[in-house]
Chains A and B, each alone.
Chain A
Amino acid sequence: MKGIIVVDIERCLGCRSCEIACAVEHSVSKDLFEAIEEAPLPQYRVTVEAAGKLSAPLQCRHCEDAPCVKVCPTHALEKVGPGQSVTIKEELCIGCKWCILVCPFGVIGMDRAGKVIIKCDLCLERTEAGKLPACVEACPTGALNFQELREVTKKRRKEFLVDFKPQKPLVKEE
């Protein structure tokens, strides 16, 4: 399954279910009740931030020309391929935090032990198995979606046409 994470900001209620699902997905047990007992505690890679009266989940955008990949001195960060995810090879990460500083979205963080960085991996394991990313699946309102770019643009075009009201009829009515 290929796609990008699309956020419908008007649908986000700020429940933070995506955060929980992300942490559970990145736990050893992948079970909520067991995950909260694990040491170290699993961490989420998506964060819900308040923005005025709205709230929105933020995670790695998996940039095509990713600044984090560019600055990584050990090549621990890698863009898998066009349209694919930016992943981290933890064994190569030296924890220099350059990527954290250059990320325009602030969605890269340090792991709990403060040794390596953590970031969204677009739930590679899940999407390869044909499943939705955990945060998308967990979102109760459909604020988080996983779609191919061309689906997104097609939907946007249709929305535009519905809203499009020309001042004069384009075709003369008979």
Chain B
Amino acid sequence: MAEIKERSIDPASQKLLKRAKEQDIMTAWDRHDAMQPQCGFGRLGICCRNCSMGPCRIDPFAEEEQTGVCGASADTIVARNFIRMIAGGAAAHSDHGRDITHALMLTAQGEADAYGVKDEVKLKALADEYGIKINERGKEEVARELAEKIFAEFGRQHGELRMPLRAPEKRVKLWKESGVMPRGIDREIVETMHRTHIGVDNDYKNILMHGFRTALSDGWGGSMVATDLSDVLFKTPEPILARSNLGTLSPDEVNVVVHGHEPTLSDIVVDAVRDPEIVKLAKKNGAKGINLVGMCCTATEILMRHGIPVAGNFLQQELAILTGAVDLMMVDVQCIMPALSSVATAFHTKLVTTSPKNKAPGVTHVEFKEEEAYDIAKKIIKMAVENFPNRNGHDIQIPEENEDLVAGFAAENVYNFLGGTYRATYRPLNDAIIQGRIRGLAGVVGCNNPKIKHNFGHVEMSKELIKNDVLVVVTGCTAIADAEAGLLQPEAAFEYAGKGLQEICETVGIPPVLHVGSCVDNSRILMALTNVVLEGGLGEDISDLPAAGAAPEWMSEKAVSIASYFLASGLFTVLGVPFPILGSKNVTNFLCHDIENILGGKFAFEADPIKAAHLMIDHINKKRQALKLRPMMYQ
């Protein structure tokens, strides 16, 4: 049991880890143990497999500085590997954005009747931004032209992306001057692959700067497209009350878990589980009804728009199946562990893949097509209902833990809550910072990683920040971790927040930690910070703000891209696990020090979430001082 407590801080997860041990079922933690010790060359980023003269690896303890066969130094190899990680992350986010654009296009053309333009205000704002005439045209026609223009951003060959121009003027100027203004979403990813090919770029600074341009094409490109067009199709989220953790699974209803990232299918599933025909069938099969819950970011998409409960974050996907209560888990793309299929074989759980980009051997595949979205959703839910009787004889162990949370804050609505409907501006937030009630802002985001005790990094960092009057915004797995720890409730302010932040939360009725969405919705953090700059009084650029970012339990390439666009947007960003760059002193020094003089942000690595929070607080204090803000009201 002691070992299990070292694996997760969440009691629900601990219970299921105990079950895994008893039944001898391997989880990510066991596989991580089995992988120890992990390759030193890989951890330092000094292995190159980019051509067949290699593989080459640089000996970090060599007498004389080594190079690869082609002559690539540790600096070149580390920089190349690092920006390939950025490209991997940017590709995942941006391809997600492309899928949403595709869905919008089909909707506008009347070819996907499960969808509609649900947020006309946002559609019009985007149309305006892209110079689309609205006049007397119907929303479908406007949406079609918008989808066309957005599609063109992916393959743009001339000029620059449109969305980065939303950033503060000073930031845009800086990007242009330092050569990192993104030109086309796909183009930057392709160019990363080109530059890192054998015999191309070997100036580590030049390589890394292109990495930032690629990351910006994600944060202010692909991810921002995903967020904005999802809002147009499925509506912009508004604060909504819901429940979290594995206790949201039901003992007597058909449990359907949607897991993955995109909302195109999961949002339609929300309707399909209410289909009278399906509900009737569920009852006929002995279930009380159908219980839909989510996992990871696709959960977040339907959580913040429909209040669907979120059953867990990345490291809880196997644990959900271990309850024995999951009748069907449907997955789309990203962060789906290949191990799920073997865990599922120990139970009656049916695993269904839906994306042509993600199949698994021996796993049922029901291919998703936007044109037939509802029928496909219904077909999958029917499979879940039909699988319910197979629970017979299996031991169901659902932990009772389920915490309330408020989700659904967006850059567009946050001011409504801070200022009220009659003062719909960011002014109250800026004033609270200027007056010293709120010290600053922190974006805490990212994954789970068995290298850090599950949820410990997220929750402890968030608590330490709010204790010091830093208003925290969270996305992705952090948001789910903090929800499970009860930090996304307005009452959490009284228990955990410093006095100044507490006063704000009490007056406005918001939690001290704001859930702003999924991992593509980190773009909402960029927009919220931009709005704070534009509101005035806190400098002229994002890098002037008393603000910082962090990914305390990161593991994915997407997180590398997010951290990189946070940095390139001017944010000091702390990572709980070091990036695989330490094998080059020059690259490490550039990314953790010198880059601040160019882009205004930099990285730091700190595994201890309390120490990491204080690195952020120190940075915020430094920025407060530079802005000559008054001292904190209560200290």
Spell out A's residues near B (CB within 8 Å): 15-17, 19-21, 23-24, 32-33, 35-37, 41-44, 112, 137-138, 140
By the criterion CB–CB under 8 Å, are A36 and B37 in contact?
A: no
Q: What residues of B have a CB within 8 angstroms of the CB of A20 in the complex?
A: 40-41, 60-61
Choose from A19, A35, A140 the contact partner of B59 (Cβ within 8 Å).
A19
- With A33-B578, A33-B582, A36-B44 as contacts: A23 and B37 at CB distance below 8 Å: no
| Best-buried of B40, B59, B585 by chain A (most CB within 10 Å) | B40
By the criterion CB–CB under 8 Å, are A24 and B39 in contact?
A: no
Q: Does B379 contact A (CB under 8 A)?
A: no
Docked Cα-Cα span, A44 to B41, in Å, equals: 15
Other contacts beyond A20-B41, A33-B582, A36-B60: 13, CB < 8 A: A17-B37, A20-B40, A21-B40, A23-B60, A32-B44, A33-B43, A33-B44, A36-B44, A42-B61, A43-B61, A112-B63, A138-B37, A140-B39
B154 to chain A, nearest CB (A): 38
By the criterion CB–CB under 8 Å, are A17 and B39 in contact?
A: yes
16 contacts between A and B (CB under 8 A): A15-B41, A16-B41, A16-B59, A17-B37, A17-B40, A17-B41, A19-B59, A20-B41, A20-B61, A21-B37, A23-B60, A23-B61, A33-B578, A36-B44, A36-B583, A43-B61
CB-based nearest A residue for B36: A137
By the criterion CB–CB under 8 Å, are B61 and A36 in contact?
A: yes
Q: What residues of B have a CB within 8 angstroms of the CB of A138 in the complex?
A: 37, 40
6 closest Cβ pairs, A-B complex:
A20-B40, A23-B61, A36-B60, A138-B37, A33-B582, A32-B40
Docked Cα-Cα span, A132 to B626, in Å, equals: 53
Q: What residues of B have a CB within 8 angstroms of the CB of A32 in the complex?
A: 40, 43-44
Q: Does B57 contact A (CB under 8 A)?
A: yes
A136 to chain B, nearest CB (A): 11
Q: How many A-B residue pairs have CB under 8 A?
A: 43
By the criterion CB–CB under 8 Å, are B40 and A24 in contact?
A: yes
CB-based nearest B residue for A26: B61
| Best-buried of B37, B39, B41, B61 by chain A (most CB within 10 Å) | B61
Q: What residues of A have a CB within 8 angstroms of the CB of B59 in the complex?
A: 16, 19
Docked Cα-Cα span, A124 to B83, in Å, equals: 42
Spell out B's residues near A (CB within 8 Å): 37, 39-41, 43-44, 57, 59-61, 63, 578, 582-583, 585
A26 to chain B, nearest CB (A): 10
B88 to chain A, nearest CB (A): 23
Docked Cα-Cα span, A137 to B37, in Å, equals: 7
Docked Cα-Cα span, A166 to B44, in Å, equals: 53
| Best-buried of A19, A36, A42, A44 by chain B (most CB within 10 Å) | A36
- With A36-B44, A36-B582, A112-B63 as contacts: A16 and B57 at CB distance below 8 Å: yes
A164 to chain B, nearest CB (A): 35
- With A33-B578, A36-B582, A36-B583 as contacts: A44 and B39 at CB distance below 8 Å: no
CB-based nearest B residue for A32: B40
A27 to chain B, nearest CB (A): 9
A132 to chain B, nearest CB (A): 11
By the criterion CB–CB under 8 Å, are A19 and B582 in contact?
A: no
CB-based nearest B residue for A42: B61
Docked Cα-Cα span, A36 to B584, in Å, equals: 10
Choose from B37, B61, B578 the contact partner of A41 (Cβ within 8 Å).
B61
Docked Cα-Cα span, A19 to B57, in Å, equals: 12
Docked Cα-Cα span, A44 to B63, in Å, equals: 11
Docked Cα-Cα span, A35 to B59, in Å, equals: 13
B82 to chain A, nearest CB (A): 16
Q: What residues of A have a CB within 8 angstroms of the CB of B43 in the complex?
A: 32-33
CB-based nearest B residue for A138: B37
CB-based nearest B residue for A41: B61
B68 to chain A, nearest CB (A): 14
Docked Cα-Cα span, A33 to B46, in Å, equals: 13
CB-based nearest A residue for B605: A33
Docked Cα-Cα span, A21 to B43, in Å, equals: 12
Q: What residues of B have a CB within 8 angstroms of the CB of A33 in the complex?
A: 43-44, 578, 582
Q: What residues of A have a CB within 8 angstroms of the CB of B583 in the complex?
A: 36
By the criterion CB–CB under 8 Å, are A44 and B37 in contact?
A: no
Docked Cα-Cα span, A137 to B33, in Å, equals: 13
By the criterion CB–CB under 8 Å, are B37 and A19 in contact?
A: no
Docked Cα-Cα span, A15 to B41, in Å, equals: 9
Q: What residues of B have a CB within 8 angstroms of the CB of A42 in the complex?
A: 61
A59 to chain B, nearest CB (A): 15
- With A32-B43, A33-B578, A138-B37 as contacts: A44 and B57 at CB distance below 8 Å: no
Q: What residues of A have a CB within 8 angstroms of the CB of B61 in the complex?
A: 19-20, 23, 35-36, 41-44
A137 to chain B, nearest CB (A): 6
CB-based nearest B residue for A24: B40
Q: What residues of B have a CB within 8 angstroms of the CB of A41 in the complex?
A: 61
Docked Cα-Cα span, A19 to B62, in Å, equals: 10
B89 to chain A, nearest CB (A): 23
A36 to chain B, nearest CB (A): 5
CB-based nearest A residue for B39: A17
B529 to chain A, nearest CB (A): 31
| Best-buried of B37, B39, B585 by chain A (most CB within 10 Å) | B37
Docked Cα-Cα span, A19 to B40, in Å, equals: 10
Q: What residues of A have a CB within 8 angstroms of the CB of B37 in the complex?
A: 17, 21, 137-138
Q: What residues of B have a CB within 8 angstroms of the CB of A112 in the complex?
A: 63
A159 to chain B, nearest CB (A): 26
Docked Cα-Cα span, A140 to B35, in Å, equals: 8
A156 to chain B, nearest CB (A): 28
CB-based nearest A residue for B47: A15
Q: What residues of A have a CB within 8 angstroms of the CB of B57 in the complex?
A: 16
Docked Cα-Cα span, A121 to B199, in Å, equals: 42
Q: What residues of B have a CB within 8 angstroms of the CB of A19 in the complex?
A: 59, 61
CB-based nearest A residue for B583: A36
B394 to chain A, nearest CB (A): 37
Docked Cα-Cα span, A23 to B43, in Å, equals: 15
B139 to chain A, nearest CB (A): 54
A117 to chain B, nearest CB (A): 15
CB-based nearest B residue for A20: B40
A77 to chain B, nearest CB (A): 23
Docked Cα-Cα span, A137 to B226, in Å, equals: 45
CB-based nearest A residue for B61: A23
Q: What residues of A have a CB within 8 angstroms of the CB of B63 in the complex?
A: 112
Q: What residues of B have a CB within 8 angstroms of the CB of A15 in the complex?
A: 39, 41
Docked Cα-Cα span, A37 to B588, in Å, equals: 12
A60 to chain B, nearest CB (A): 18
Docked Cα-Cα span, A38 to B63, in Å, equals: 14
Docked Cα-Cα span, A17 to B44, in Å, equals: 12
B364 to chain A, nearest CB (A): 34
